[in-house]
Chain A
């Protein structure tokens, strides 16, 4: 009987919760929320990024303080002449490649790998390696239970990048 009473109480509480907010409350809560969300932004610039890409990149940290548990999310933004765009994944970086950048040798491929590591946080350094396969470069970023993760970069005859594809299980 006591449990039934508790259940009814809980359901009543939820039903009562559907109250309308006044304009004043709405505005005050909006102001509070605005203060509770902190942003940090840093430009990502390294000689590798500058050689491979022709745009400015920013790592943005969004830190909501609602629970005080230090949780945050990170995102990569690219600044174009008239816009600020969030980039998710390697394929979305394609429009920002430096038009003069080509992969002719292992050093060029390493530059691309270093750039992707900085921009997309893939790989932890020690497990990184790379190999060439016909007109492809395979950039191995890390290994997870025997499966190699990383990028397959397809080139044209001049060494220009055609596609960059991420895979959790690279075919070597």
Chain B
């Protein structure tokens, strides 16, 4: 099931454009869990020192542990660390019961860093599925599915539970400590199309007018326009903060749950090493923390780190490059044909990269490079070809189109089975160059022309409009 979620997430992310890579600014080893502290470049973390797990304050910018603590941690699995305004860190634990697949809520502990002491403040005696918790000042909201139940509210000062609301219809979408508010909705207002108006409830319990809509519909499609993920739309500009706050709640997130928070998914898709990551542990207005490959990585989401910080010595990197240079060879061939010379103002090279894995096996990759006005580059997209066509070249008739097709044949020689599909077809203002066929769909290029028959655009199409 998790693999399915991963595929769904990758499909979703493949439709998203990641403008720039965001590299981690620092990573820490042996970190099991952590929570970012609001408005501080700090995290409270559980670190394994080789012998046992212990709590520690980690400074993200200074890239070091500021303080480690000796207080023995609870035996049960720690699911969340919640820094609180009262100066304590609250720790939630989960227990596993035979026959129960999901972890159950175990207890709440309070950690005083001043005293280096952990005290259990609540123990759950019933079998309750592990909730997701959020703190707003001294109130801890423990919630599961927002549509089915009200959250339980644990007051960390009185150490007692208190009612969420007298309105039995009121549901918690999320609570934001940074904004000291809850975003709520009413079960009775959930419409047939799975959308629901949302409101803001302040600390005094006052509920605002409608601030937006929560849409729980989800559609996964191979067609970009049909994709839809659950999400929050804010219609009252005074509450625009709620959208960012929503992305900063509900941690940890992994797989599918990342995709349900589009803002968070945007950040996730920009992370340079996202393939290594398994879980997003937390995010505030400046930092994002994620876990994977035995490490916790910190990213600056406000000022992304677009260059990978040097993590190994120059000597080490030179050694790595030399190792690969010794394994790799390139077969370079100049592509030549009369058509190529007439259609393009450039020299093209077919290059095959061979990496010799061992005595018997090798990996091969193939690409095209070109030189134009003395500059060499790799041909990655068809759009680059546009810049290589001299101004005098036009496709004014079928002969010109066949010349262009011959040039394509030199650049991208058709395979044995594709040869029978090669053809060019004129349509209004454009020529279609068929290069292959798959399940009845003709694949190739759409070449758009202006009134003077000059090429204005070259576009690759998996289904030519024929």
Whether the Cβ atoms of B333 and A26 lie closer than 8 Å is no
Closest to A40 in B: B308
Q: Which of B294, B308, B332, B335 has the most CB of A within 10 A?
A: B294
Count of chain B residues with a beta carbon within 8 Å of a chain A beta carbon:
50
Closest to A51 in B: B50
Whether the Cβ atoms of B312 and A67 lie closer than 8 Å is no
Which residues of A lie under 8 Å from residue B295 when comparing CB positions? 46
Partner of A7, one of B293, B294, B330, B419: B419
Whether the Cβ atoms of A16 and B337 lie closer than 8 Å is yes
Which residues of B lie under 8 Å from residue A118 when comparing CB positions? 293-294
With A65-B378, A117-B294, A118-B294: A10-B409 Cβ-Cβ less than 8 Å: yes
Binary CB contact string for chain A from 30 to 41 against chain B (1 if under 8 A, 0 otherwise): 111100110111
With A16-B410, A118-B294: A58-B316 Cβ-Cβ less than 8 Å: yes
Distance in Å: Cβ of B211 to nearest Cβ of chain A = 38
Which residues of B lie under 8 Å from residue A45 when comparing CB positions? 29
Asked if B239 is at the interface (CB within 8 A of a chain A CB), the reply is no
Which residues of A lie under 8 Å from residue B49 when comparing CB positions? 47
Whether the Cβ atoms of B321 and A39 lie closer than 8 Å is yes
Docked CA distance A42–B27 (Å): 10
With A19-B333, A25-B371, A32-B369: A10-B376 Cβ-Cβ less than 8 Å: no
Partner of B351, one of A29, A117, A124: A29
Whether the Cβ atoms of B312 and A42 lie closer than 8 Å is yes
Whether the Cβ atoms of A3 and B420 lie closer than 8 Å is yes
Asked if B207 is at the interface (CB within 8 A of a chain A CB), the reply is no
Which residues of A lie under 8 Å from residue B369 when comparing CB positions? 29, 32
Asked if A60 is at the interface (CB within 8 A of a chain B CB), the reply is yes
With A41-B317, A42-B312, A84-B323: A33-B330 Cβ-Cβ less than 8 Å: yes
Asked if A103 is at the interface (CB within 8 A of a chain B CB), the reply is no
Which residues of A lie under 8 Å from residue B351 when comparing CB positions? 29, 33, 66
With A36-B378, A117-B294, A125-B278: A29-B349 Cβ-Cβ less than 8 Å: yes
Docked CA distance A36–B330 (Å): 13
Asked if B87 is at the interface (CB within 8 A of a chain A CB), the reply is no
Whether the Cβ atoms of B419 and A19 lie closer than 8 Å is no
Partner of B320, one of A14, A41, A46, A68: A41
Closest to B410 in A: A13
Whether the Cβ atoms of A26 and B332 lie closer than 8 Å is yes
Whether the Cβ atoms of B409 and A9 lie closer than 8 Å is yes
Which residues of A lie under 8 Å from residue B420 when comparing CB positions? 3
Q: Which B419-452 residues have a C-beta within 8 angstroms of A?
A: 419-420, 422
Asked if B394 is at the interface (CB within 8 A of a chain A CB), the reply is no
Closest to A115 in B: B294
Asked if A171 is at the interface (CB within 8 A of a chain B CB), the reply is no
Whether the Cβ atoms of B312 and A13 lie closer than 8 Å is no
Whether the Cβ atoms of B365 and A43 lie closer than 8 Å is no
Asked if B30 is at the interface (CB within 8 A of a chain A CB), the reply is yes
Which residues of B lie under 8 Å from residue A50 when comparing CB positions? 50
Q: Which of A21, A47, A86 has the most CB of B within 10 A?
A: A47
Whether the Cβ atoms of A25 and B349 lie closer than 8 Å is yes
Count of chain A residues with a beta carbon within 8 Å of a chain B beta carbon:
57
Which residues of B lie under 8 Å from residue A79 when comparing CB positions? 316
With A19-B333, A33-B351: A66-B365 Cβ-Cβ less than 8 Å: yes
Asked if A12 is at the interface (CB within 8 A of a chain B CB), the reply is yes
Whether the Cβ atoms of B312 and A43 lie closer than 8 Å is yes
Binary CB contact string for chain B from 395 to 427 against chain A (1 if under 8 A, 0 otherwise): 000000000001001100110000110100000
Whether the Cβ atoms of A47 and B367 lie closer than 8 Å is no
Distance in Å: Cβ of B415 to nearest Cβ of chain A = 10
Docked CA distance A58–B371 (Å): 37
With A13-B337, A51-B50: A58-B312 Cβ-Cβ less than 8 Å: yes
Docked CA distance A32–B419 (Å): 32
Which residues of B lie under 8 Å from residue A33 when comparing CB positions? 330, 351, 353
Closest to A20 in B: B334
Partner of A29, one of B332, B365, B419: B332
Whether the Cβ atoms of A39 and B320 lie closer than 8 Å is yes
Whether the Cβ atoms of B30 and A16 lie closer than 8 Å is no
Docked CA distance A79–B323 (Å): 12
Whether the Cβ atoms of A41 and B335 lie closer than 8 Å is no
Which residues of B lie under 8 Å from residue A53 when comparing CB positions? none
Partner of A14, one of B2, B30, B413: B413
Which residues of A lie under 8 Å from residue B371 when comparing CB positions? 25, 28
Whether the Cβ atoms of B332 and A21 lie closer than 8 Å is yes
Whether the Cβ atoms of A32 and B332 lie closer than 8 Å is no
Which residues of A lie under 8 Å from residue B363 when comparing CB positions? 73
B residues adjacent to A (C-beta < 8 A)? 2, 29-30, 48-50, 278, 293-295, 308, 311-312, 316-317, 319-321, 323-324, 330, 332-337, 347, 349-351, 353, 363, 365, 367, 369, 371, 376-378, 380-381, 406, 409-410, 413-414, 419-420, 422
17 A-B pairs with C-beta separation under 8 A: A9-B409, A13-B335, A13-B413, A16-B336, A16-B337, A28-B376, A30-B330, A32-B369, A39-B317, A48-B294, A58-B320, A64-B353, A67-B365, A68-B380, A84-B316, A86-B323, A118-B293
A residues adjacent to B (C-beta < 8 A)? 3, 6-7, 9-10, 12-14, 16-21, 25-26, 28-33, 36-37, 39-48, 50-51, 58-60, 62, 64-68, 73, 77, 79, 84, 86, 114, 117-118, 121, 124-126
A-B interface, 9 closest residue pairs, ranked by CB to CB distance from nearest: A47-B50, A66-B367, A19-B334, A68-B380, A13-B410, A84-B319, A118-B294, A32-B376, A41-B312
Beyond the given pairs A19-B336, A33-B351, A124-B278, 16 more chain A to chain B contacts, judged by CB atoms under 8 angstroms and listed by A's residue number, are A3-B419, A6-B422, A9-B406, A9-B409, A19-B333, A26-B332, A29-B332, A29-B369, A39-B324, A40-B308, A44-B293, A46-B295, A51-B50, A64-B365, A68-B380, A121-B293
